[in-house]
Amino acid sequence: MSADSDHLLQLAEVEAMFGVGSRCVPHEHAVTVGGGGEVVPCSCGACGAWRAFCTGRYEVWTREWVDALSAYLEAAIGARADGVVLDVGCGDGTLVRALRARLPQHVRVLGADTAVPRDCGHHSGDAALVHRMDAHVAMLMFRPTIVLSTWMPLGVNWTPLFRSLRCVEQYILVGHADMAGVPAGG
């Protein structure tokens, strides 16, 4: 799979399709009602299309973001032959496949999730990339150099595990601090 065929949108495409991003007018997209701070989502066509597009997704990976992450990971792994990038909680493996398409072949890119969807495409050609297993098992089995945790489950904190393994040189947490893992101050 080439980086151009991974179906990732460019940020400009997201902005053009849905009117979100730098051109977004915040007060048009969600309204806070009452003293309790209840948020009522906007019902305009662009917001409806955006909500439909995002249904079942925790994130929307843009081509620019994945390109930047790939460049960072490639520099961090360098030329070493045993570099492993492991995405724990990888869902359907979209990010894993996009990184695999961009990184040199000497970098192993793997994903693990306890709930890998059966229709995610990991059965044909990607079987060695996405594994249905717990983060602890995956960490011990694959001995990653760099760990990605995209949207760590709320209330879960895998970072002590990441820090406990000598093979892990870096870990990268992706997600809002109060919506993934253990919320700030929690």
Predicted pLDDT at 123: 40
Residue 3: band (very low, low, confident or very high) from pLDDT cuts 50, 70, 90: very low
Q: What percent of the chain has pLDDT over 90?
A: 40
Going by their DSSP bridges, the two strands 38-41 and 30-33 should be labelled as antiparallel
Using alpha carbons, select from 150, 146, 148 the residue that is nearest to residue 169: 146
pLDDT digit string (tens) for 112-152? Answer: 998 866 544 444 344 568 899 999 999 999 999 999 998 88
Predicted pLDDT at 147: 97
Copy the structure tokens of residue 29: 């997209």
Burial of residue 49 (number of CB atoms within 10 Å: 0-12, 13-18, 19+) = middle
Contact status, residue 89 vs residue 115, Cβ threshold 8 Å: no
Which range, of 1-15, 50-64, 70-84, 170-184, averages the lowest pLDDT? 1-15
pTM of the predicted protein model: 0.78
Which helix (DSSP H) or strand (DSSP E) does residue 17 occupy?
Answer: helix 11-18
Contact status, residue 30 vs residue 18, Cβ threshold 8 Å: no
Three-state SS annotation for 47-108? HHHHHHHHCCCCCCCEHHHHHHHHHHHHHHHCCCCCCEEEEECCCCCHHHHHHHHHCCCCCE
Using alpha carbons, select from 17, 46, 16, 13 the residue that is nearest to residue 30: 46
